[in-house]
Structure 1
Amino acid sequence: MSHKKRVDPIRLLWLFAGSLIINTGISFIWPLTTIYIHNYLHETLTVAGIVLFINSAFTMLGNAIGGWLFDNWHPYQTILLGVTTATISTFALVIFHGWPAYPILLVTLGIGNGIVVTGLNSTATLIKSRSTSYVFNALYFTQNLGLVFGSLMVGYILPFGITYIFLLAFIMFFIFNIVVAVEYRNLNQAPRQTFQTTTGTKKKPKLSHNSLLTISSILICVFVSWVAYEQWNSNISSYMLSLHMSVKDYSLLWTLNAILIVFVQPLLTYFDTWLSSHLHGRLYLGFSLFGLAFLLLVGAQHYLIFALSMGLLTIGEIFAFPAVSTFVNDHAPVTEKGKFQGIVQAITSAGRAFGPLIGALIIDYSSFQILFIFCTGIILVSVLGFGIVNKITKKDD
């Protein structure tokens, strides 16, 4: 009886399970940060904003460290380092969650989480049994499913006390630590392509000028989209409350977001072959829908308009965001796949860090309407720039 040769360094099931576990664990903590700092620790909203900004900055650092270590050290040890850092941080949060222990431990958790997320995305580039596009689509699905599970559970567990929230997060990270230790060991055996000169010495392939241009242009789209997206996490809630809508109305929109992702994302995965051959079109459509969603909010007075905007935003997100990782992977040198997945995650973290700050400044000096026009404008201009760069680089090839 012949055994089929195993082509993947780890089973896909464990890559997706890892993404689900880690994102469930992290969603016990991030959504609560502002509420916990302001309502429980009695610090100002400005202080909460600064803590979120610093946390995003250190998550970016984790993304960069994770990408570099994945390429230049050992993939298995890199992910293990990240998840161990996150596990120790959440265990410490169970015991020490006062001020200033809480924001300090958020920093170490951010670094650990940044390393893990980049490690998982970098691992996706080593999978050979399925197309890279399929793997990134499925990873995006499990990531959002984890956020749905975590966010739903927080509402039921928080009344029992914040300690139980941190304990649950620790349990999730601890489970993932065991999964990594047992199932990710073969990562280091994944074939790593090297290039050799005629003299036999190893030589790293250089990123071509065209590839650098195209990757930079798509990363600009990612950054401005996350700056805009963060308005939903921060400033749009205040706008809805000023229109006499409730916090429950606002949170229901995130339920709509989650439902759409959970039901529509698998459809995209089903049509993966066709979408992979139309990757540029998928990115243009996704980011354009994402940008136009904010235009709906200009002059919005009724709840239905906010729901339509969230629906359009989510469809755009489903098309664009998973495709970015595939696009960057296609253009990155084979010896630096981890580094470039780290850059994608770092740019995402940067957009999340600057988004609330940029939005608040625009609202303070003008209005919410100008903010929504600004969000649509920066996204559509970035998509146009991405399209122009693609045309130029194709001509040069």
Structure 2
Amino acid sequence: MARAQKGISAYSLFIGSFLSNTGISFIWPLTTIYMHDYLGKSLTVAGLVLFINSLFTMLGTNIGGYLYDNWSHYYTVLIGTILVTLSSAMLIFNHQWPNYAFWLILLGFGNGLIVTAVNSFATMVEGKSPSYVYNVLYFMSNLGLVVGTLMVGFLLHLGISIVFGAATVLYVILLLIVLVAYRGHEQESNIARNYTGGGEYLERASLVRIMTLLALLAIIWIFYEQWQSNIATYMVANHFTVKDYSYMWTVNAILIVLIQPIMTYFDAFLLRHINMRLYVGFFLIGASFLILPFAQHTYAFFVASMALLTIGEIACLPAVATFVNMLAPDSQKGKFQGMVAGAGALGRAIGPFFGAVIIDYATYDKLFLISTIVIWLGTLIFLVINQRLRVKK
């Protein structure tokens, strides 16, 4: 394939990320409630479906990376968009058991393709550094999740088909944008590059740095996911309401909306200090769990924990994609961005079950303490390996 003469529009990526994440937030958060309250399935079955969904999302991210690098940038994101549009449309009329689970899992696979392709396209935006694009993509994806979750609250009482219909409308708009704005933005594929003897290879030191960071990212998501699963139960057990818990995500959203644009403004400075940005962000996420054992009867402590968690994630999570992009060769951008998304999906898949096991055999306090220790230990290991291999390089 010939190299495109013109880079992809940043706005098409940002809008695409917003629509994709808004659409998925119409469907994914409802899974447990819908399967348990409407379909009459156990929480275990609902958890199993979510686990399989996360695994297929991870599969989609990795296949998406391979297709992006070796076949077509445009057709990779197009296939993903068609799959999510088809799945959400089928859910409007075909949401009984077990069809619901099938379409949800297919939706996860398609979403994995989209996430990898969009993150990989970020390196092709004209006039913007990849770190700037990743910061804005992170902001837009979170904004989409907030908007989607908020709209579900207004639409659900109208019927589940209306919710799935709204998601389908968003995906149709996304499909139209992909057809118009993503077409033709290709680079020479690995197949052509390797055939002509121009393949690129990642240095061993860079590969070790990337893989250590991705292992830490998966760990971060294992414990971050506790906020989306077991901490809700912890709050209710301590006589807080579900509404009190939902306000935690309002805090999360407000902080992201307020702080992320500031981070983006100082993108050049943060890019020069990307390693420190990662270390500080991971440290703050670990520190946030230390507050929770003291929050049993004090709502302000839950707010403080969520605030620290959010500031930490704003600092480090968008920087992971930037760090990996800086080290990955051009011919393997899709592969490694797929691995970034896959590491997150793996952590989200393991998180609820892992936390439940710790709680069953120990206590919530032990879970929170383990969270801090493991995150800080992982951060220290990454710091040592990263600094040593940076110097050698």
Q: Does 1:361 align with 2:357?
A: yes
Q: Does 1:237 align with 2:237?
A: no
Aligned partners of 2:155 and 2:163 also within 8 Å? yes
Matches within 5 A, 1:271-290: 271-290=266-285
Which amino acid is 2:295 matched to?
A
Question: Alpha-carbon deviation of 1:392?
Answer: 1.8
Aligned partners of 2:36 and 2:42 also within 8 Å? yes
In 2, Cα distance between equivalents of 1:58 and 1:355: 16
Could you say which residue in structure 2 is the equivalent of 1:260?
255
**Structure 1 230/196 Cα, relative in aligned 2: closer, same or farther at 3 Å?**
closer
Could you say which residue in structure 2 is the equivalent of 1:151?
149
Could you say which residue in structure 1 is the equivalent of 2:376?
380
In 2, Cα distance between equivalents of 1:20 and 1:244: 35
The CA RMSD measured in Å over matched residues stands at: 1.6
Q: Does 1:102 align with 2:97?
A: no
Could you say which residue in structure 2 is the equivalent of 1:347?
343
Matches within 5 A, 1:118-133: 118-133=116-131
> Counterpart of 2:309 in 1: which secondary structure?
helix
1:90 corresponds, among 63, 75, 88, to: 88
**Structure 1 394/10 Cα, relative in aligned 2: closer, same or farther at 3 Å?**
closer
Could you say which residue in structure 2 is the equivalent of 1:202?
197
Question: Alpha-carbon deviation of 1:216?
Answer: 1.1
Question: Alpha-carbon deviation of 1:51?
Answer: 0.5
Q: Does 1:308 align with 2:311?
A: no
In 2, Cα distance between equivalents of 1:196 and 1:263: 43
1:220-256 deviation line (CA, Å, top 9, x unaligned): 2201110001100000000000100000000000011
Matches within 5 A, 1:155-234: 155-188=153-186, 190=187, 201-234=196-229
In 2, Cα distance between equivalents of 1:369 and 1:320: 25
Could you say which residue in structure 2 is the equivalent of 1:112?
110
Q: Does 1:25 align with 2:23?
A: yes
Matches within 5 A, 1:313-324: 313-324=309-320
In structure 1, list runs of 5 or more residues that go unmatched.
1-5
Question: Alpha-carbon deviation of 1:192?
Answer: 6.5
Q: Does 1:35 align with 2:37?
A: no
In 2, Cα distance between equivalents of 1:224 and 1:213: 17
> Counterpart of 2:124 in 1: which secondary structure?
coil
Question: Alpha-carbon deviation of 1:391?
Answer: 2.2
In structure 2, list runs of 5 or more residues that go unmatched.
none
> Counterpart of 1:371 in 2: which secondary structure?
helix
Aligned partners of 1:7 and 1:129 also within 8 Å? no
> Counterpart of 1:202 in 2: which secondary structure?
coil
Task: Count matched residues.
Answer: 389
In 1, Cα distance between equivalents of 2:336 and 2:185: 18
1:250-274 deviation line (CA, Å, top 9, x unaligned): 0000011011111110000000010
Which amino acid is 2:38 matched to?
Y
In 2, Cα distance between equivalents of 1:110 and 1:391: 36
Question: Alpha-carbon deviation of 1:128?
Answer: 3.6
In 2, Cα distance between equivalents of 1:238 and 1:300: 13
Which amino acid is 2:224 matched to?
Y
> Counterpart of 1:136 in 2: which secondary structure?
helix
In 2, Cα distance between equivalents of 1:354 and 1:204: 35
Question: Alpha-carbon deviation of 1:127?
Answer: 1.9
1:65 corresponds, among 63, 75, 88, to: 63
> Counterpart of 1:206 in 2: which secondary structure?
coil
> Counterpart of 2:294 in 1: which secondary structure?
coil
TM-score normalised over the length of structure 1 = 0.95
1:330-366 deviation line (CA, Å, top 9, x unaligned): 1112100000000000010000000001000000000
Aligned partners of 2:72 and 2:189 also within 8 Å? no
Which amino acid is 2:365 matched to?
Q
Could you say which residue in structure 2 is the equivalent of 1:81?
79
In 2, Cα distance between equivalents of 1:136 and 1:348: 15
Aligned partners of 1:286 and 1:317 also within 8 Å? yes
In 2, Cα distance between equivalents of 1:63 and 1:390: 25
> Counterpart of 2:86 in 1: which secondary structure?
helix
Q: Does 1:49 align with 2:47?
A: yes
Aligned partners of 1:16 and 1:142 also within 8 Å? yes
> Counterpart of 1:27 in 2: which secondary structure?
helix
Q: Percent identity?
A: 49
> Counterpart of 2:105 in 1: which secondary structure?
helix
Q: Does 1:15 align with 2:13?
A: yes
In 2, Cα distance between equivalents of 1:338 and 1:120: 9
Question: Alpha-carbon deviation of 1:137?
Answer: 0.0
